[in-house]
A and B are shown apart, each in its own frame.
Chain A
Amino acid sequence: MPDIPSAPSTELTTGSSGQRLSAEDVRYAATLTHLSLTDEEVESMRSQLSTVLDFFQTLQQVDTTGVEPTGSPTDVRSVMRDDEPTPSLTRSEALANAPHTEDDYVRVLPVLGR
């Protein structure tokens, strides 16, 4: 596991100026989501997403004290099927799109040893 840096210390501000993203914030989110970004991408995202975060400040106008969050829009609960074996993909079908395979396995580069 590569080192994951701790979150930048930026405090969330809720004033009219809204939240400004720093380059460190963008790089932190990129680490969490395993996304390599060029310096140019970091800079353009910092600027564009700061505008979007400013826009999110509109939600602070809404009083949500005591309001339950909605995770799914309908009252339908997750429906579990019976836990019984059924036909599924064959091994060759499941591996057909893997970039690298060896015998009946997906082959990956070393995980350790960085």
Chain B
Amino acid sequence: MTSGHILKTAHEARELIRSGNVSSVELTQSVLDRIEQIDGNLNSYITVTGGKALERAASVDAAIASGDLDGPLAGVPVMVKDNMSTAGTLTTAGSQILKNFVPPYDAHVIERLNEAGAIIVGKGNLDEFAMGSSNENSSFPPTRNPWDTTRVPGGSSGGPAAAVAAGEAFISLGSDTGGSIRQPASLCGVVGMKPTYGLVSRFGLLAFASSLDQIGPFSRDVTDAANTLSVIAGHDPRDSTSSLDSGGVDYAADLNGDLSGVKLGVPKEYLVDGIEPGVRAAYEESLKVLEGLGASLEETSLPLTDQALAVYYIIAPSEASANLARYDGFKYGHSSESAQDAWEVMDMTRGEGFGAEVKRRIILGGYALSAGYYDAYYKKAQQVRTLIRQEFAGAFEKFDALVTPTSPTVAFEAGSRTDDLLAMYLSDVCTIPVNIAGLPGISVPGGFSDGLPVGLQVIGPQFGEQTIFNVTYAYEQATEWHEAHPSI
């Protein structure tokens, strides 16, 4: 029964293809059937490219049969967040300003997925331009959490997280500017990984905040995340921040369950005010599991953690206000029909095309960067950013990795934070410091609270991807949280 395969991991599905038990066409069809069956309730997808996917699966099946294509993602159905350019396929960034935008080229990560033989089945829902923590800022019907459809999936990569949790894709790609992969992974009970800044090229990613944005995978286990990162990492001359010494690493090759001698720091500031008792209990239980695997754990302090949220909400909107200047109504996207001259086209196109949160952040960024306020806000934030980087660097002289909760709460009720900006912004309090310092971080299923998933975050030093994969792989071997699936 093909339909019985949809909640397997990608590496299990790949093995079924390899052994001839199932074809990529059959696997792709079962995922498309699943989308047809449940996505009316979930809204994980903005666009489903079923016809293209089936054609592609047929050619990948042939390439696998002839021995031309191998590797961990060959024939595996995947979803990509709708802020990554796909040649010939609608790419909206969740915004009305791009509701008809069909890019003429593929993002770097799309090229990598295609070369690896992955089957892209569609584009994932997101908060508009990746600005949000609940998916409720999407200008399309918002994604809901597959564990409880009255709740949010997190954001901004809510669609990619929900799709992997619910069997609508084996793997997905998201982007993470302040937690937009890890927080929804936590709320949806899947693995979500944000690589070191510069490890994965952002060429073709619709830019939000260029000193923070990074692309990474969602998956149902750590092995799949490691395999996917191996496919998408590597230098790309089209992204000037792309690391030169990256690529060609098989992150899944040497994963094992032994943490003997591994030193893990437990930063006390991440047990923030407002952390739910059930989240705290699951986290403390996870720390015991890691200790039982041979790791040595020690409490540590990162006092500037509290400042990271303010740093983020100055730097990210400032960079966004500049990046989003390109949506002017002339070159692509929505163009106001009621304007009388070119200046009005710009002003009105943007007023009509952007949603409330995007407008708020453009105004906030424009204000923070304006003459007279630049030093007090933007420069101050950049200086504190330096101190946060130094604080992490100090911690990594002592520890191999840091272990924290991913989100202070489980998935919250839809609508419960939409009127309280700061409450919504606080959703990312445990994930934002990682982006500020350009570090790799991963969230893995780390228990349940009242029947809803809780995530465990492991943070590594820059280019310490292998370490955090090792730690979370060992944890995964010792727990069963990743084997639980929502009943949708």
Contacts and interface: CB of A to CB of B under 8 A. Distances in A.
Interface residues of A, number: 58
A74 B198 CA distance: 8
Contacts of A73: 197, 211-212, 385, 389, 435-438
Contacts of A25: 367
B19 interface: no
A59 B359 CA distance: 24
B381 to A, nearest CB: 7
Contacts of A89: 104-105
Contact of A74 (B333, B367, B462): B462
A15 interface: no
A68 B313 CA distance: 19
Contact of B310 (A55, A70, A72, A80): A55
B363 A49 contact: yes
B333 A97 contact: yes
Contacts of A93: 104
A58 B386 contact: no
Interface string A96-110: 111110000010111
B348 interface: yes
B101 interface: yes
Contact of A78 (B100, B240, B376): B240
Given A33-B363, A79-B244, A94 B383 contact: no
A53 B142 CA distance: 28
Interface in B297-324: 304, 306-307, 309-311, 313-314, 321
A112 to B, nearest CB: 8
Contacts of B244: 76, 79
B242 interface: yes
B359 A98 contact: no
A36 B348 contact: yes
B241 interface: yes
Interface of A: 2, 7, 12, 14, 21, 25-26, 28-30, 32-38, 41, 45, 48-49, 51-52, 55-56, 58-59, 61-62, 64, 67-74, 76, 78-81, 89, 93-94, 96-100, 106, 108-111, 113-114
User: Which 3 pairs of residues, A with B, have the shortest CB-CB distance?
Assistant: A73-B438, A69-B382, A36-B351
15 contacts: A12-B373, A33-B362, A35-B350, A35-B351, A35-B354, A58-B310, A64-B384, A64-B387, A70-B386, A72-B438, A73-B385, A78-B240, A99-B333, A109-B339, A114-B340
